[in-house]
Each structure stands twice: as structure tokens, then as C-alpha cells.
């Protein structure tokens, strides 16, 4: 799929598996220490900078959004799946959750202190990743931070028909090498701060990577752009 028609498959699939997803996917407290540690680092960075709210894009049932909020980060969630958003609103009624797409975020330019894309970009066809990363960059305030975490691999294109206990799905997944994701982030205008790449389990076709980056601050008027 080379256009935005893939979004319909992603939306329908996650609407279908929403309840099973909540039952089967780990909560932030159940994550491995490295993954949880990266979330904590991101929370500290955006809280200390104080540049604005944090959007958890592809928030699913809202657990990671709530994890950030528990750490005094002004976070809200956006997800393509109305069923996921409904679960998030029910579980965390004091937090804001909206239905929306990463390809066209309902957020003003330069308005966010941080963006979290947590296991939410791997369904995007590689040709459209620059569109998504461009939206994340657009919405971040200068100096704001991005954390992107998700599945990586050696250029694998997966077409599952079932997931989360056998429920039918029609989305596709794309496992890109970490170096390519890093290059796409740079091309979108981000400055890459760090990356953590976990070694794949023996025989596994995918691994996990976390990238921390920021949007450069604008030079002062009349100042040296360097």
C-alpha cells in the first residue's frame, strides 16, 4: 500500500483486538528494566524542560500516557482506533484521549514539549514514514524531545492474519534496520541524542530499539546560526 489506505486496515484491526490487547500486552510496570528506564529518562527530560504538553501518539489503551502522567508529565493520548480511545478514556477519565492519525495530527505547530511514539510506527509503510516523522517534528516546540520506540529488523515486511489470541487482523508491519530509522529522523530535522538497540532472541526476526531525539532550538534573531 503506497497511500493512506493502510490506515483503514490499522484502524479496523485494532478496533477488533482492543479488548484482547489490554489483556495480553504488558503494562509499563511489567516492562523490562531497560525499556522502563528509557521511559523514565524521557519523562524526566520533558518534565525538566517544561516546554509544553506531551502527546503519546498511537497511545492504544492509554497505559503509557498514564505512566507519564504519574510522573508529573502533562501528557495526553492520540490513537487511530476509536475502540482503543474508548478503553483509554474509561480507564483514565482524568486524562485526555483523542482519535486521530499520525499522518495529520490535530495539533498546532511548535506546541508540544514532547512526543512519544511507543510501538506505534511499525505499521506505517516505509515510503510514508517521512510524512509521520514530519508531523511529529512540526508539532514539537523548538527544544522539544521525541522518544520513538518499536520493532526493528532486517527489512522485513510482515502480513499477519491473526493476532492477540487469534483475532483477525489486516494490518501489515515493516521492520526496518535501526540505522535507517536514525537516518529518517535526521532527514526529518531531528537531532538524535541516543539509541538503545536490544539484541534479538535466538531465531527471532525482530528486535526492539528506542531513539531519543530533539527538535533544534531556533537561533536568536541576529545571532550566529551555528
Query: What digits encode the pLDDT tens for the residues 159-177?
Result: 999 999 999 999 999 999 9
Query: How far is Cα 194 from Cα 209, in angstroms, rounded to an integer?
Result: 11
- 3 pLDDT more than 80: no
- 226 pLDDT more than 50: no
pLDDT at 204: 76
Q: Residue 14: inside a domain, yes or no?
A: yes
Q: Residue 224: inside a domain, yes or no?
A: no
Q: Write down the mean pLDDT value for the chain.
A: 94
Q: Residue 222: inside a domain, yes or no?
A: no
Phi-psi region of 164 (alpha: psi -120 to 50; beta: other; left: phi over 0): left
Residue 88 phi, psi dihedral angles, 5° rounding: -65, -45
Q: Residue 59: inside a domain, yes or no?
A: yes
Summarize the confidence of residues 32-58 as an average pLDDT. 96
- 30 pLDDT more than 90: yes
Q: Residue 88: inside a domain, yes or no?
A: yes
Kind plus residue range of the DSSP H or E element containing 156: strand 156-158
Residue tagged 501518539 (cell numbers): 57
Q: Residue 13: inside a domain, yes or no?
A: yes
Q: Residue 11: inside a domain, yes or no?
A: yes
Q: Residue 225: inside a domain, yes or no?
A: no
Q: What is the CATH number of the domain that holds 186?
A: 3.40.50.150
Task: Classify 182 as helix, strand or coil.
Answer: helix
Residue 208 in grid coordinates: 526492539
- 86 pLDDT more than 70: yes
Q: Residue 216, class by beta-carbon neighbours within 10 Å (0-12 exposed, 13-18 middle, 19+ buried)?
A: exposed
pLDDT at 218: 80
pLDDT band of 223, cuts 50, 70, 90? low
pLDDT at 2: 46
Query: How far is Cα 16 from Cα 193, in angstroms, rounded to an integer?
Result: 37
Neighbour-count burial for 81-99, b at 16+ CB within 10 Å, e otherwise? bebbbbbbbeebeebbbbe
- 1 pLDDT more than 50: no
Q: How many domains does the chain have?
A: 1
Summarize the confidence of residues 129-156 as an average pLDDT. 97
Residue 9 in grid coordinates: 486496515
Q: What is the pTM of this model?
A: 0.93
- Percentage above 70 pLDDT, the chain: 96
As a residue count, the chain comes to 226
- Structural domain of residue 138, as residue ranges? 6-214
- 105 pLDDT more than 50: yes
Residue 149 in grid coordinates: 520506540
Question: Cα dihedral angle (78, 191, 158, 116), rounded to 10 degrees?
Answer: -20
Amino acid at each position: 500500500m503506497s497511500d493512506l489506505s493502510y490506515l483503514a486496515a490499522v484502524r479496523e484491526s485494532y478496533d477488533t483486538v482492543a479488548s484482547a490487547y489490554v489483556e495480553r500486552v504488558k503494562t509499563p510496570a511489567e516492562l523490562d528494566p531497560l525499556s522502563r528506564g528509557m521511559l523514565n529518562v524521557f519523562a524526566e527530560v520533558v518534565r525538566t524542560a517544561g516546554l509544553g504538553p506531551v502527546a503519546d501518539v498511537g497511545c492504544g489503551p492509554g497505559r503509557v500516557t498514564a505512566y507519564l502522567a504519574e510522573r508529573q508529565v502533562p501528557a495526553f493520548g492520540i490513537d487511530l482506533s476509536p475502540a482503543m480511545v474508548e478503553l483509554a478514556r474509561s480507564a483514565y477519565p482524568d486524562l485526555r484521549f483523542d482519535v486521530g492519525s499520525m499522518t495529520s495530527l490535530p495539533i498546532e505547530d511548535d506546541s508540544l514539549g514532547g512526543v512519544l511514539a511507543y510501538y506505534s510506527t511499525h505499521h506505517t509503510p516505509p515510503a510514508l514514514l517521512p510524512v509521520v516523522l514530519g508531523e511529529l517534528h512540526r508539532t514539537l516546540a523548538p527544544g522539544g524531545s521525541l522518544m520513538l520506540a518499536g520493532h526493528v529488523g532486517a527489512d522485513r515486511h510482515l502480513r499477519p492474519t491473526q493476532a492477540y489470541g487469534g483475532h483477525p487482523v489486516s494490518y501489515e508491519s515493516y521492520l526496518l534496520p535501526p540505522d535507517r530509522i536514525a537516518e529518517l529522523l535526521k532527514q526529518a530535522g531531528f537531532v538524535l541524542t541516543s539509541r538503545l538497540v536490544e539484541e534479538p532472541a535466538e531465531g527471532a526476526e525482530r528486535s526492539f530499539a528506542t531513539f531519543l531525539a530533539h527538535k533544534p532550538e531556533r537561533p536568536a534573531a541576529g545571532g550566529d546560526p551555528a
